[in-house]
Amino acid sequence: MEIIELTSLEVEMKAVLDEMGIEYVPQFSTRTGFIIDFAIFQDGRKLALEVDGPCHDGSIAKRRDRFRDRLLKAEGWEVVRLGYREMKSRQDIEKAVYEARYGVLRRGSAGVRRGEARRGEAGQGMTRKG
């Protein structure tokens, strides 16, 4: 089993998820062979939380991400991409996680970018994965 090191952005995301008490699986391998940065499972639904650094800015990378998102959607994943430009502070990351967790999990959309998710209600239980 290959161990994949987390990027600095993923380390920040992991710390926020841990602090928020959210259960997740880091570097989750899908049946089609993709690695999801953070997989969150709740109420029978699957959220792929992707942390995108500058390497995702180019046109080829954007096409690859769209293709990957379509395949993940076909597997039943709801994909939320959080770009490095949106993750300037811990508060930004917490807000993005909140919106991804509640907005997307309630709405049921796939391939949603962080700014498109709507807020839901706080307090739905997830516990930290240790």
Query: Residue with structure tokens 């994965």?
Result: 129
Q: Quick check: 120 and 92 in contact, CB under 8 A?
A: no
Query: Residue with structure tokens 């709801």?
Result: 78
Identify which has the larger pLDDT, 1 or 121.
1
Give the burial string for 84-102 (b: 16+ CB within 10 Å, else e).
Answer: bebbeeeebbebbbbbbbb
- Closest alpha carbon to 97 in 31, 44, 21, 1: 21
Average pLDDT over residues 44-65: 79
Q: Where are the domains of the chain?
A: 21-115
Q: pTM for this one?
A: 0.70
- Distance of alpha carbon 100 from alpha carbon 82, whole angstroms: 9
3-state DSSP assignment of residue 126: coil
How does residue 84 score in pLDDT terms, banded at 50, 70 and 90?
confident
In a 10 Å sphere around its CB, with 0-12 CB exposed, 13-18 middle and 19+ buried, how is residue 63 labelled?
Answer: exposed
- Closest alpha carbon to 96 in 117, 111, 78, 77: 117
**Is the pLDDT at 76 greater than 70, yes or no?**
yes
Q: Quick check: 118 and 103 in contact, CB under 8 A?
A: yes
Q: Find out if CATH 3.40.960 is the number for domain 21-115.
A: yes
